Structure formats: structure tokens, C-alpha cells
Structure 1
């Protein structure tokens, strides 16, 4: 399992149901570490503040808990991605349609990629 820097992770995730062990947060899948790194990079570039991120992530977690999810942390990184998507939309950096179009492009690229080869957007048969 991959681990983020302990001080950074504590600052970003205090009080959240992030999957962790005695040494701190852990990632079960590579995409989780990539999503984590993306938020850190965007925050470091000033795209949003730590407070904005905490508010966005907290809202997603509260919504998931109210709907019966995110109680054991197993869907934490799904909430993480939802929070990032909604925060970027709220800041006018993307739109729901833009996110949906990109997700569809990735799905087409995955379908068009031979087994065992890396999935890249260039494999989307509709890519220009």
C-alpha cells in the first residue's frame, strides 16, 4: 500500500473516515493515490484553499453518510473524487457536461484498447 506524507495527510484529513492503519492513511488502489496527489497539486497551485477542500469533502461525506454510505471508509475515495469534481465545477473550471464527456471518452478508449495495453485517451476512436 502507498502512503502519503504523514504531516500533509493529517492536515488534509483530520476527522475524516479516511482508510488508515496505525501508520496513517493508505491507498488500496493506484487511482486513489493519483486522486490524492491531484488534490494536493491543485491546492499547492492555489486552485482552491485547504478550507475550500475541507468544506467540499465534508459535504460529500455528510451526503454519503446520510444516504447510508461512507460509514466504514470503504467508499472514501469515491467521495474524494466527487468532492473534487463538484469543487472544480463550482469554481467554473469545468462543467457537468465536460466531466461526462471526458468520462465517456475514457470509456471508449478503454473499449478500444487491446488487453494488456495501457489505456490512453488517444485510443478513443472519437478523439480528434
Structure 2
């Protein structure tokens, strides 16, 4: 992923820094929030945070809140599925279960290591969101 090359995460996870920071923020502050993936972000805060990442500047706590972190995560800088495999992923969605799951897993296994890692991080994050649905969907 080009975004990893441009702004690698501080702990060598292979994630773009903006993704790692967004997931870290949401795991710490968003899992029990009713705003997680539901509320519109403050546009000014979002623009300020985008600019800081573009300029590789430091981010500060006042730039972050749950809707802004969700928006940052939803605006991934590169395609997760790669251009080469994107069409195959689309075709796999039309396959009936249980073959669809096997096909998707095989395609995920073909992703470059950075993309594969990103998919894993996102899946674990979304599992955490779902695990807290009793609280974050009130």
C-alpha cells in the first residue's frame, strides 16, 4: 500500500498511520459510544485532521472525537482489495454460501501482506464494535 510507504505506523504493524491512530482512538473511546459509525463528523475538525496527516504534522486530542475517527477510517487512502483483485471480490459476492465464504477467504489470502494485515485489523475492530452493540446501539 502506498499509504504505508508514505506514513508508516509507529509500531511497524504495516498499517498506514492514520488507520492505526483511528482504530486506536475508537478502541479506547468509541466502542461504548452511540455515535460510532452513526454520527456525522464535525467538518472543520475532519478537515483539520486530514490536513495534519497530509502534512505529516502532529495530531492533538481536540482534533479527535468518535465521529471524526470513524470518518478518517472510512476514508482509507488506498483500496484495501487492490485493483487486481477488486473484480474477483465483486464476483464472489454473487456466489451462494458456503462457497462464497471459501472464495472470499481464498481471495483475502492473495492480498499483499499490508492489505492482508489491514483487513485483519479492521475485522478485529469491527468484532469489538459488534461485541459492544448492547451499549453502542442504545
Q: In which range does the TM-score fall when normalised by the shorter chain?
A: under 0.3
Q: TM-score, normalised by structure 2?
A: 0.26
